Amino acid sequence: MVFSQVKITKSTVGNTVNRALPQTDSITKTTPAITGFPVVLSKDTLLFMYQKIGSFTAQNRAKAISERITQLYEDPFFEPDSLQISTSDLSLDLVYKRDFIILSVTDFDAKSVGLDRSVLMNKNRSIITKAILFQKANNTTFNFLKRIALELLFLGLIGLVLYFINVLFRRLKYFLIRNDEKHFKGVKLNNFNLLSTSQQLQLVLKTIDLLRIAVLILTVYLSLPLLFSVFPATEEYTTTLLNWILKPAKTALMGFVAFLPNLFSILVIVFLFKYALKIIKYFVDEIQKENINIDGFYSDWAKPTFHIVKVLMYAFMLVIIFPYLPGSDSPIFKGVTVFVGVLFSIGSSNAIANMVAGLVITYMRPFKIGDFIKIGDVSGEVIEKTALVTRIRTPKKEDITIPNATVLSSSSINFSANTKANTHGLVIHTTVTIGYDVPWKSIHQALINAALRTDLLEKEPQPFVLQTSLDDFYVSYEINAYTKAATQQPLIYSHLHQNIQDCFNEEGIEIMSPHYKALRDGNKTTIPENYLSTDVQTPVFVVKNK
């Protein structure tokens, strides 16, 4: 509480008083901006001292007057009527019981505040008297007990509020636990299960616990100003505690209000780009469904092209939005942006190389999902193509991940490229080597018969045989046949080799390659017995000498 005839702060008192000084007074015309020093009682400012008297500065005067007023307050027999005004040659003195001078008012003091000396003294006397009486009445034993009782009441109410807050949160947790199957279904992202039902429940319960602690702390903090306001000695802390919350909240609120125009601009920009992408997405879907045909633009290019356009549009949108972001002009914001950019460029060089390679592969169209291909030493079906990698599933059901940069730098074979309905299909081929003693026509026919017996090999065009080499001990015969089932190559080759063995045995042709060392005269044939007639006789061993 301030009992002062001049309602100004210490920091601004000089300018305020200076403006209030009469311009016709010779003293005030030459006096610089005056600083006032407060006279206080129990931390309450009563009045200010501006002028010195003799060797006493204004600050010393204010301190001495504060001490004398405190002595009056501490006097248990203080009588307000004993405060009298005494006149001397240089000043008016406020005297208690005729011998204790409280303060003096000179002409300089009066002119400093633009008042008559007697008027100023009467006002000071009234202020001091009221302040002492107020403090005495405020600090009686009865009032002290009342404050203690009020403090205990407030503590009880705060404790009750805290108890009900705990009960409310506890009941909320019990309700969620009892109805977990109804309110929690887990969290999934596409087909990936991020959180199970129990994990989601535990996460929510922990969040509720943290929220409960935050509410309890906030309740206790907001209760402290109420508790401190009961006693005059702690009353000043009330404003301090409230300002710790209200000032940041006010600053944040005013900052948000100031940001609203930019926020609306950002929302409009995002809205326009969002619907522009929706329009582009509509045409992309139509191209992908081949409802819209563009010469030289394949339907499987539609989706990756849309992803590229989307990334470019989002980047352009961020460039437009950036100046509207709060703090975008600050050096810290710019420094962080540059730092993140450097980290991204250094740490993602391989990723960028794979992304560029993936983009090139997309538009080269060497293979697509479902094709049976060979990259390096890896053969299998393409099961996934992403911006960074290509995944292949081998005939052994092994999923192999190959970086797109490796795919681009390696040669790839697409076995499924010519297996469509309007093509002959993929040529399956294998080689056998037979000695010169067997007629080549018999071998051709046996190989063709084996190919015609093999499932998944086409009957038309007919299989054909190529003699690929004439070696020292044998001839190399290559059987070629068409198939539309490129992904079944291991199975087709297995069946084809089985049928070759059967057909050769049926024709009585021994597969004696690459080198079969034996004494043929009198030796048993290599053809299985079930392919031979029952009356066949093994020749005797004969040695002829010339």
C-alpha distances in Å from residue 354, one per residue of 171, 176, 349, 351, 405: 53, 47, 9, 5, 5
pLDDT digits (tens, 9 = 90+) for 152-176: 898 999 999 999 999 999 999 898 8
Q: Residue with structure tokens 């509720």?
A: 208
Q: Is 423 exposed, middle or buried (0-12, 13-18, 19+ CB in 10 A)?
A: exposed
pLDDT higher than threshold 80 for residue 139: no
Q: Give the whole-angstrom CA distance, residue 368 versus residue 412.
A: 12
Higher pLDDT: 429 or 437? It is 429
pLDDT higher than threshold 60 for residue 15: no
Q: Give the whole-angstrom CA distance, residue 457 versus residue 426.
A: 10
Please count the other Cβ atoms lying within 10 Å of the Cβ belonging to residue 173. Answer: 16
Of the pLDDT bands very low, low, confident and very high (cuts 50, 70, 90), residue 9 is very low
Spans of all domains in the chain: 13-138, 148-234, 352-414, 426-531
Of the pLDDT bands very low, low, confident and very high (cuts 50, 70, 90), residue 543 is low
Which pLDDT belongs to residue 346? 65
Output the average pLDDT for the chain. 82
pLDDT higher than threshold 60 for residue 205: yes
| Range with lowest mean pLDDT among 60-74, 112-126, 350-364, 450-464 | 350-364
Query: What CATH number was assigned to the domain covering residues 352-414?
Result: 2.30.30.60
Higher pLDDT: 34 or 370? It is 370
pLDDT digits (tens, 9 = 90+) for 501-529: 999 999 888 886 555 555 555 556 777 77
CATH 3.40.30.10 fits 426-531, yes or no: no
Tokens of 256: 């948000």
The pLDDT > 70 percentage for the chain reads: 86
Which pLDDT belongs to residue 431? 94
pLDDT higher than threshold 80 for residue 191: no
Q: Which of helix, strand or coil describes residue 93? A: strand
Phi, psi of 418 (to 5 degrees): -115, 35
Angle at 425 between CA 420 and CA 430, to 5 degrees: 150
Which pLDDT belongs to residue 442? 93
Ranges of beta strands (E only) in 148-270 are: 187-189, 192-195
User: Is residue 127 within 8 Å of residue 5, measured between CB atoms?
Assistant: yes
SS3 of 11-53: the string is CCHHHHHHHHCCCCCHHHHHCCCCCCEEEEECCEEEEEECCCE
Please count the other Cβ atoms lying within 10 Å of the Cβ belonging to residue 167. Answer: 10
Which pLDDT belongs to residue 233? 67
Which pLDDT belongs to residue 8? 31
* pLDDT, average across residues 74-89: 83
Please count the other Cβ atoms lying within 10 Å of the Cβ belonging to residue 457. Answer: 22
Tokens of 401: 């991940």
pLDDT digits (tens, 9 = 90+) for 20-52: 333 333 333 334 456 789 999 877 888 999 988
Which pLDDT belongs to residue 30? 38
| Range with lowest mean pLDDT among 162-176, 188-202, 266-280 | 188-202
Give the CA-trace dihedral at 65, 66, 69, 71, to 10 degrees. -110
Of the pLDDT bands very low, low, confident and very high (cuts 50, 70, 90), residue 10 is very low
Of the pLDDT bands very low, low, confident and very high (cuts 50, 70, 90), residue 347 is low
SS3 of 484-501: the string is CCHHHHHHHHHHHHHHHH
pLDDT digits (tens, 9 = 90+) for 50-71: 988 888 898 999 999 999 998 8
* pLDDT, average across residues 250-265: 87
